[in-house]
Amino acid sequence: MKKLSILLAISLCSFLSDQREPLTAEAYAKLTESQKRTVEHALDGIELKDPELEISLFASEPMMTNPTNMDIDAKGRVWICEAYNYRNALNPRNPYNPKGDRILIMEDTDKDGKADKSKVFYQGEDINAALGIAILGNKVYVSCSPNVFVFTDENGDDIPDKKEILFSGIGGLQHDHGMHAFVFGPDGKLYFNFGNSGNTLISKNGKSYLDDKNKVITGDGKPYREGMVFRANEDGTDLEPLAWNFRNNYELALDSYGKMWQSDNDDDGNRSTRINYVMDYGNYGFKDEMTGADWRVRRTNMEDSVYRKHWHLNDPGVVPNLLQTYVGSPTGIIFYEGSLLPAKYRNQIIHCDAGPNIVRAYPAVKNGAGFSASVLNILDGSKRDKWFRPSDVTVAPDGSLFVSDWYDPGVGGHAMGDSLRGRIYRIAPKGVNYKVPVYDYSNAKGATEALQNPNQSVKYLAYQSLKNMGSKAENSLKELVNDSNPVMAARAYWLLADQNSLWINHAAESQNEDLRVLSVRMARKYFKNPYEFLKEMTSDASIQVKREVALAIRHKNYSDIWVKLASEYKGEDRWYLEALGIAANEDWDKSLELLQGKEGKEWLSKPHVKELVWRSRGTKTMEYLAEIIQNEKSEANKWKYYRAFDFQKGTNKNDILFKLIKSAKSDEEKVTIFKLLDQNTIQNNTNFKVEFPKLLAGIKNDLDFLDLVSKYNVKSQFTRLHHLTLNSADRQVSAEAGNASVKMHGSKGLLLELNNPKNIKKAIDKYGNVDNALIANELIKIYTNKKYSEEIRTLALNEMGGWESEAILWEQFKAKKVPAEYIEMALNILKRTWHGDIRNEVNKIIATGGGETINIDNVLNGKGNQSAGKEVFAAYCASCHLAKDSGIDFGPSLSQIGNKLSKQGLLNAIVNPSEGIGFGYETQEITMKNGDVLQAIITSKTEIDLMIKYPGTSNVTILKLKDVLKIEQKNDSLMPKFALNEAELKNLISYLEILK
């Protein structure tokens, strides 16, 4: 009875909160943190940005919690995946339900706009933390790596009669970067994606999928890698990879023409989250297409901003982004084709971003062969309730929007601070109540009416009904083709073309550009030999149509069509250029031959041809690039053509590049050429042996010098390496030079300066930054030797703050070899060590046990000192994190952390670092074949190299994979669990909150 009273009280509070005006900012600010978390104040914490709309609370705790994904069925019922059992291995303090997570159905039976009835459709540990749900007829598709489940409710009692596995073997178990939700396409196929932990799929028959060239579809970089987009039949057959090289493309949205849209997350803190128009077969540039290298790895013609670097946007073969959305943790997305919302939202992307607590629309307009977009905010919790974490957005059958709210102090890094809350909101024009339309799917008229509904589940039922009717539905669909709304005409065309391909020609003759684009897509699906149709469509005046024709001829060897399309390229539309590149894949030789014949003898002097050659991958491309470079008058323009060499294969690469050295007009150009040469085959070249030493002696740019010394393992350059280590004002140059010097010459540089009063402190400081056992042992010899001054000894000991040096210092301490006067200092270093086992032992020794008891309410509700917090950051955090222009680029950047985490989220990230490890920043234990065991983060991996960062360093260390025995990921963060006191925590959080 007591429990019932509590539930009634919560429901009453929820009802009353919807009946009043939201609190003013001043009144809301007076609420305690606990009050802000209540359902009563749910709507008070969210700012509705559009005065034409209203927001209401449809459902909340205790009816449901922790929604990761949502769908709405044709009856208007809301289905969610709950994630109560979310990442428990990384959140061991959170409760666990041994019955498993739930698929929940919530319904408004009394028509007051609020869910009053809920039922569990399915519960089990096999769907713990599922990330996707789609209700298609009597089937429910649930995405939960490593599987995609299909539940079938054969008798409509909301209890599954069958549970089948559609796909298995998918990476990303309990991982946000695994398999995501399914979308029903207007062509009757399923569309879906996974993030960059997915890697591959296995069919329900236990077999790997093959692409159209009989290659296994897997993320091995040949050509597929990282996050991917797919299309398949409902039974999983005819699976196609449609796009790849994303980081965590969370969900896919389709419009009725078949265009695809999605968001993608950056690798945390780099202000590079993006929205993509997904062009079929496009590479989207998260990792280097050829090597898989991380975006930070220096390369020729490197981009001029973090955002452009992050997605390799200067590289040939990378499709442009639609929009940069800066800081974010993007989640659910739809393409809204309803008519209930105001016109500005119609036929536009609507998207949730849980990081900045926002729901937005992205009005897109055509821009050449692609699109451009702007931002239109709808819901914003960032000013008031930063626990608002919109996880998904869905269209209801009445055209209103439903938004699921994960509701948590943080998001990302697999952290979960709250397992008891979750909300569902409805957004609609003011005064419009939730009313679900009812359709008669048994006749063509009723089903055609339903086909026009914006809700996926309704459209699915209508599509299947009309398809099963066959020719009996033709007259009704004909009327829809002539509808003034081309979106509805598109839906009808897909079904009509399935019955009679003449409708494809009908669409091709439309005055509407989008319908002509649609005709090309339908031709790809329905024509066995689309050559004549595609050839005719190349004459269409629309560049959007030409783009679609280009995508349609991929792997068809229609070189003559390609040349006709290429002749329309004016040299400025990157979307169109990439479409042409996709079109000519594996047909470049014939395509370039025909292009040369069409353009004439001076073809390589024409700007648009140079762009096409830059994008090409033919056997003669390198020869053409060399000719372009030799005739290029602009020094700056040369670098893009040199970069294109990285994308070419062929045994003649070194020969072609070496010929360019003779005509190179600057040392910078020569340096670029030597960077591009294959070091495995060039070092025995006589000309190389003559030219390289001369070049090395004259290189002015220090980073260029370091790149070449490292690439060719040049051991004769100790003097310059040593000078750069000690004297370079550029911290990156000094660090890289020190690492190169120690790698090739051991502790020589440090030892050289120990008797030099002018340089000894500098040498200890600079070489001490190299985390290496040889250096650590020399530092021990210094701080334990009384012949050195106290200042020198103290400096040497303080430099023992790296992964290897801390372990060595701990062994010294245990062996009682630390001088008495330095024991306290050594313990202070070790209590902040990266090694959790050592840190625990040290805390026992100094009897802190983790510090004083912290009053969480005081920390969360009190006001800290931002200046003092900056000092705490400098002492504890700056050795691994960037905040604006200070700190080390090792862990995720915190320059925008105030936009991402609430106070509670910040507190949890500080005191429980292992519960929120950003993807890509996990602790990796690397065992080398020589017996060394390293702990680091892996930034990227190529076929021959493993690029890592050691704790506390920003520079990348390159290991050879042939020297690595095994790599094991650990659950513990490399970030220490610092024993901060209450005041330090309060001050640090106050400082982090202003980082926006």
pLDDT tens for 318-343 read 999 999 999 999 999 999 999 999 99
CB 68 within 8 A of CB 391: yes
640: number of Cβ within 10 Å? 20
Return the H-helix or E-strand segment holding 241. Answer: strand 240-246
Q: Quick check: 378 and 350 in contact, CB under 8 A?
A: yes
Mean pLDDT across the stretch 712-725? 95
Does the pLDDT at position 9 exceed 50? no
Say if residue 13's pLDDT is above 60.
Answer: no
Cα separation, 229 vs 857, in Å, equals 45
Inter-axis angle of helices 702-711 and 731-745, to 10 degrees? 30
Residue 100's region, left for phi above 0, alpha for psi from -120 to 50, else beta, is: left
Is residue 393 within 8 A of residue 332, CB to CB? The reply is: yes
Q: Which residues pair with 394 in a beta bridge?
A: 402
| Residue 974 near residue 839, CB atoms below 8 Å | no
Give the 3-state DSSP-derived string for 156-208, with helices as H, strands as E and coil as C. CCCCCCEEEEEEECCCCCCCCCCEEEEEECCCCCEEEEECCCCCECEECCCCE
Place 916 in a pLDDT band, splitting at 50, 70 and 90.
low
Task: Write the CA distances from 864 to 408, 464, 852, 912, integer angstroms.
Answer: 22, 60, 18, 20
- Above 80 in pLDDT, residue 718? yes
Structure-block tokens of residue 516: 């002509």
Asked whether the beta carbons of 299 and 288 are under 8 A apart, the reply is yes
Judged by average pLDDT, the poorest of 197-206, 529-538, 892-901 is 892-901
Question: Within 10 Å of residue 211's Cβ, how many Cβ atoms?
Answer: 15
529 Cβ contact list (under 8 Å, min separation 6): none
Note the pTM of the prediction, 2 decimals: 0.87
Q: Using alpha carbons, list the distances in angstroms from residue 35 to 7, 29, 38, 45, 694.
A: 17, 11, 5, 11, 72
Given a cut of 50, is residue 846 above it in pLDDT?
yes
The more confidently predicted of residues 783 and 802 is 783
Domains defined along the chain, listed by start: 2-284+319-429 (2.120.10.30), 466-669 (1.25.10), 695-845 (no CATH), 856-993 (2.30.30.100)
What is residue 708's three-state secondary structure? helix
What is the 8-class DSSP label of residue 321? P
Backbone φ, ψ for residue 697 (5° rounding): -65, -25
As a whole number, the mean pLDDT across the chain is: 92
Phi, psi (degrees; rounded to nearest 5) at 325? -110, 10
CB-based contact 245:312 (threshold 8 Å): no
pLDDT above 70 for 851: no
> Could you check whether the bond before residue 146 is cis, i.e. omega within 30 degrees of 0?
yes
Question: Looking at the predicted structure, is the pLDDT value of residue 723 above 50?
Answer: yes
**What DSSP assignment string belongs to 472-525?**
GGHHHHHHHHT-S-HHHHHHHHHHHHHH-THHHHHHHT-S-HHHHHHHHHHHHH
Task: Assign 3-state DSSP to the chain and report helix, strand, coil percentages, each to 5.
Answer: 40, 20, 40
Q: Tens of pLDDT along 588-597?
A: 999 999 999 9
**Residue 230's Cα: distance from chain center in Å?**
17
Q: How far apart are CA 305 and CA 326, in angstroms?
A: 12
Average pLDDT (33-51) is: 96
Give 415 or 514, the one with higher predicted confidence: 514
Which has the minimum average pLDDT: 87-96, 113-122, 286-295? 87-96
Residues 926 and 945 sit within 8 Å (Cβ to Cβ): no
Question: Which residues sit opposite 240 in a β-bridge?
Answer: 231
Q: What is the largest CA-CA distance in the chain?
A: 100
Q: Report residue 979 as tokens.
A: 């024993």
DSSP three-state, residue 576: helix
Average confidence (pLDDT) over 418-428:
97
Residue 971, pLDDT score: 72
CA distance 42 to 385: 8
pLDDT tens-place string over residues 564-573: 999 999 999 9
Confidence of residue 634 (pLDDT cuts 50, 70, 90): confident
CA distances (Å), origin 7, targets 61, 112, 432? 9, 18, 27
Pairing of strands 132-136, 882-883: unpaired
Between the alpha carbon of residue 286 and those of residues 301, 495, 954, the distances in Å are: 17, 37, 20
Q: Among the residues of 866-996, which ranges form H helices? A: 866-872, 903-911, 982-993
pLDDT in the model for residue 919: 64
Residue 465's SS3 state is helix
531 closest CA partner among 564, 509, 498, 579: 564
Q: Which residue type, as a one-letter code, is found at position 399?
A: G
Question: How confident is the model at residue 912, as a pLDDT?
Answer: 72
Q: Could you tell me the pLDDT band of residue 941, with boundaries at 50, 70 and 90? A: confident
> What band does 918 get if pLDDT is binned at 50, 70 and 90?
low
| Cβ-contact 427, 466 below 8 angstroms | no
User: Residues 915, 420: contact at Cβ < 8 Å?
Assistant: no
Residues 6 or more apart in contact with residue 628 via CB below 8 angstroms: 604, 610, 613, 614, 641
Which is more confident, 651 or 722? 722
CB atoms inside a 10 Å sphere around CB 757 = 9
Give 907's pLDDT tier (boundaries 50, 70, 90).
confident
Least trusted range by pLDDT, from 100-109, 156-165, 890-899 = 890-899
The one-character DSSP state at 854 is P
DSSP codes joined into one string, 379-394:
EE-TTS-TT--EEEEE
Task: For residue 120, give the 3-state DSSP assignment.
Answer: strand
Considering only CA atoms, which of 83, 46, 38, 44 is closest in space to residue 64? 83
- The CA-based dihedral angle spanning residues 338, 341, 342, 346, taken in that order and rounded to the nearest 10 degrees: -30
- Burial (CB count <10 Å: 0-12, 13-18, 19+), residue 386: buried
Is residue 7 predicted with pLDDT exceeding 50? no
Q: Which residue has the tokens 């026992």?
A: 844
Beta bridge partners of 894: none
Examine the pLDDT at 526 and tell me if it is beyond 70. Answer: yes
Q: What would the two tokens of residue 346 be?
A: 């119609």
CA–centroid distance for 300 within its chain: 24
| 561: its two tokens | 């069509």
